Structure 1
């Protein structure tokens, strides 16, 4: 087994374990991340999927399983998936560290799921991208899809909040924080996405190709 295949495989195992643990907590009636109220199971599952954290981890899971099978994988759809998963999980880790971590007081399995989803998987995914790629893979189509996904997620999230009064992250609660606060935070996160995509595209072009052709 090559180092690349081993790393991608280990990352896939960690992210799948984290997602299954969080799903198990939800099925068992546990909190969806830091949520206090306990609606019915169907609503809890829908809200679980609504978290950007969960979506970005799912994308990492799909990408790393594919890479564990073929570390040199390519194709238009895969390029978009790989860039979106890498950028998304990086933002997940940064937003958690900067905005959410001070608000959380989790214990036991909730704490473990939180650390796996927000810390371990981002570190493994970004390290794997830097060390093993594959690259070059970042083209214009991949950039468009990687940027369109979080914009669509934000629009849907705010629309759901307007209709249900539920929001996955407190910094997007326009009823409590006001539209001005939400606009500033949203703009900041959008700029962060743009900067990360730009940085990854630059690195994709200038770092040594992976897998190596030599």
Structure 2
């Protein structure tokens, strides 16, 4: 239990630290996907929260903090939070590595924040889930929430993008990429979420903690 609590505490601390660092950079005018004409502070902060990376790291931070206090924590709401967080952070790491990483050329604190949010936190979260669980925790309600969240996020981003002409990720910009490409990407992302959820559901039944 001590090892589990310590690992979850470490994960929460790194996630919170990464979120604070990224927020500070945004306040200063820096961002992961840099704009040539920086918007107002309020707009920058709203856009920061719109990033799926930020949302998934926030869920991991909350779930890990709760697990650090009680490694055997359970409950319907917590199961949904935990599964959504671990699935979201897994997809965050995969999408970053295969789609976004080649597009970025960061230095200094921006580089550190990027690696923490997209690589270190996902690694800590996944290792912690495999090693310490707790399990079983994957149930139907948690699965529904974990799939509904990214679908709702995609819908909101696409609708907001039509009004603001801003998209958190270039592969969702239908003005530049075209609707055909964006639809394919959305279907692929949804399928990826389904596959990751299925993998965690299988592992939840087979692994022991």
Quickly name the TM-score band, shorter chain normalised: over 0.9
Deviations 1:102-135 (A, max 9, x none): 0001110000000000000000000000000010
CA distance in 1, matches of 2:29, 2:151: 31
Residue 23 of structure 1: aligned partner: 23
TM-score (norm 1): 0.96
Asked if 1:204 corresponds to 2:186, the answer is no
- Per the normalisation by structure 2, the TM-score is 0.98
- CA RMSD after TM alignment: 0.8
Q: How far apart in 2 are the matches of 1:50 and 1:183? A: 19
SS at match of 1:20: helix
Q: Take 2:127 and 2:184, find their aligned partners in 1: how far apart are those partners?
A: 30
Q: Give the aligned partner of residue 46 of structure 2.
A: 46
CA distance in 1 between partners of 2:119 and 2:126 (Å)? 11
Deviations 1:131-154 (A, max 9, x none): 000100000000000000000000
Is residue 82 from structure 1 mapped to residue 76 from structure 2 by the alignment? no
Report the equivalent of 2:10.
10
Unmatched runs of 5 consecutive residues or more in structure 1: none
In structure 2, stretches of 5+ residues that fail to align are none
Distance, in Å, in 1 between the alignment partners of 2:203 and 2:120 is 22
What CA deviation, in whole Å up to 9, does each residue of 1:186-212 have, x standing for no partner? 11111110000011001111111x3xx
For residues 178-197 of structure 1, what are the structure 2 equivalents within 5 Å? 178-197=178-197
Q: Tell me, what secondary structure is at the counterpart of 2:134?
A: coil
Q: Partners of 2:126 and 2:173 in 1: how far apart?
A: 29
**Residue 101 (structure 1) aligns with:** 101
- 1:91 corresponds to which residue? 91
Report the CA distance between 1:65 and its aligned residue: 0.2
Task: Give 1:41 deviation, angstroms.
Answer: 0.4
What's the counterpart of residue 66 of structure 2? 66
- SS of the residue corresponding to residue 138 of structure 1 reads coil
